[in-house]
Amino acid sequence: MKTLLIIEPHTDFRTVFRSIIERQGCDVEICEAKSSEEGMIKIRKIKPEITFFDISLREKNGIKLESKIKKVLPNCRIVVLTPFEDKAFYRWHKTDEIETFLSKDKLSENLIGILQEYLDV
């Protein structure tokens, strides 16, 4: 079974995220963290194939979270959750470590497609 981690400070959003995946019957273990610090602990422990994280958690002491994740797990896919749908915003914030961005407003339309593309579930 593949493992994913969502690092998101809002409990309600994590609940919706989980329910979308469970309703589709995807064969994936879902782990959660509410902060970048907790997320990094879980990344080292569970070694997820894909990590989703809220863009507001991206900067931590000037170090980008995606760089920290890739240093620990170079093959982990990274999807940044954002309240924006602006392609210019995505281009501005894109790094080599980020696979894609996912607008929180389009979560239900796009989440399963991302899992199918990156995890083949």
Record the tokens describing residue 100, joined without a space.
């894609």
| Sheet strands (E) in 1-121 | 2-7, 28-33, 50-54, 59-60, 63-64, 77-82, 100-103
Long-range contact set of residues 16-19: C-beta below 8 Å, sequence gap at least 24: 16/107, 17/52, 17/107, 17/111
pLDDT at residue number 73:
96
- Can you tell me which residue has the tokens 């079974």? 1
Topology given in CATH for the domain delimited by 2-119: Rossmann fold (3.40.50)
**Domain ranges for the chain:** 2-119
Q: What is the pLDDT along the chain (121 residues), one digit of tens a residue?
A: 999 999 999 999 999 999 999 999 999 999 999 999 999 999 999 999 999 999 887 665 445 888 899 999 999 999 989 887 777 666 767 777 888 889 999 999 999 999 999 998 7
Intra-chain end-to-end CA distance of the chain, in Å: 9
